[in-house]
Amino acid sequence: MLDRGREIRLTGAVAMALLLGVAVASAAATELPEPAITGRAAVVLDGNTGRVIWERDGDRPLPPASTTKIMTAMLALESGRLDRTYEVSSYAASQAPSKLGLRAGQRMQLEDLAYALMLKSANDAAVVVAEGLAGSVPEFSALMNRRARAIGATSTNFQNPNGLPDDDHVTSAHDMALILRHALEVPGFREVAGSTVKVVQVEDTSLRPVALRSKNRLLNGYFVSVLGKTGYTRAAGRCFAGAAELNGRQVITVVFGATDMWGDTRKLMEYGFSTFDETAPAVQLALEEARRNPPRTAVAKARSPRRRATVVASRSRRARSVATRTASASTKLRSKPSKASRAVARGKSVAQVASRTRAVTQVASRTRAVTQVASRTRTVTQVASRTKSAPVATSAARSTARAKAVASKAARPADRQAKLDTGSRRR
């Protein structure tokens, strides 16, 4: 009986060992290669548990650009004041683009401002939110940082509500993933971040509708719909924080400082979903479909299949029209070569005449210049001649005057003697 018990335990142990061996071998066989991305820092987070699936410098503080507006929109939605309107200050209106172009004195409802943040990435709208909720940008920045600490984002230091460049305005990819994970639980955030278009109202002397369109290319056309926020500054590079759900699994990805933001995000999403048994087949199917039908343009530009077909057909018609006109023109030229030849010959003749005319004009211009120089030379010569003759004439005049004086002196004694002789005769 004891031997039988030992045999049963031994058999069970062997079976468990075999199962563990198969599991380890399966895990080794399905080990995924790391995603090859362009970003300086990135993270893939399990949205259900908060576990880090993969990262590259995930805790490195970097400028987050407009992904900052995830926190700003989250605080706006958490405030419970979505139906209130707030006035645009001159400081808010002076913000750099991207913006709505708001003017001081206008007003907007807080809910519309949240849409402007996430779809348009409006920097002026972010300042209106900050001033409306906290009174000033510094006070709102302090509120953002307190909220980040409560979420667990310990590498974060926000200085403004919009992510415009500031040396002290930083966060990490891991912190931004935590912020986005929390924002997804705030009522209304998914609806705002998941909208492709929205019309908001700006209050001035009257209501002015403004149409907004999302900059998120992965909302449609990808194998999952990715909610998120883009960002770009020269210092930060291209940034994106996004989240997607598939078969009960949620994956959050963040990439900072990328050159291929959309390509990086796709690779990170595919890597994250490939680590789950529930979603890995869907990823493989999507990749196989992409290989069979490679897209002509970047994935997901929010165009419906019908619209894409219309655009392709329109381009084809334009191409055929251009080809037809080109062929017609070529046929005409071949059928009437003499006219074309004469036109070319006339063109050459005109060019030759123009060249000769230019040459004659240049010669005439040079001749006039030479004539002017010769005229000036003659004038100078005459002046010099007059200048030389003037001293000679003066010298001759002086000599003549002296001769006259001498003759006059010589004539004086003869005159006196003649006078004497005349007197004596009279006596």
CA dist 9 and 346 (Å) reads 108
Q: Is 355 a catalytic residue?
A: no
The 3-state secondary structure of 240-268, one letter per residue: EEEEEEECCEEEEEEEEEECCHHHHHHHH
The amino acid that residue 280 corresponds to is: A
Q: Is 357 left (phi over 0), alpha (psi -120 to 50) or beta?
A: alpha
Size of the chain, expressed as the number of residues it contains:
427
Closest by CA position to 172, among listed 267, 67, 64, 253: 64
CA dist 174 and 50 (Å) reads 10
Q: Is 66 a catalytic residue?
A: yes
Q: Is 210 left (phi over 0), alpha (psi -120 to 50) or beta?
A: beta
Closest by CA position to 199, among listed 109, 77, 70, 112: 112
CA dist 158 and 75 (Å) reads 13
- 158: tokens are 């926000």
Which is it for the CA torsion 332, 334, 337, 340, positive or negative? positive
Contact 193, 118 (CB under 8 A): yes
Q: Considering the candidates 99, 120, 121, 172, report the single residue annotated as catalytic.
A: 121
Sequence-distant (≥ 6) Cβ neighbours of residue 301 within 8 angstroms:
217, 221
Active site residues: 66, 69, 121
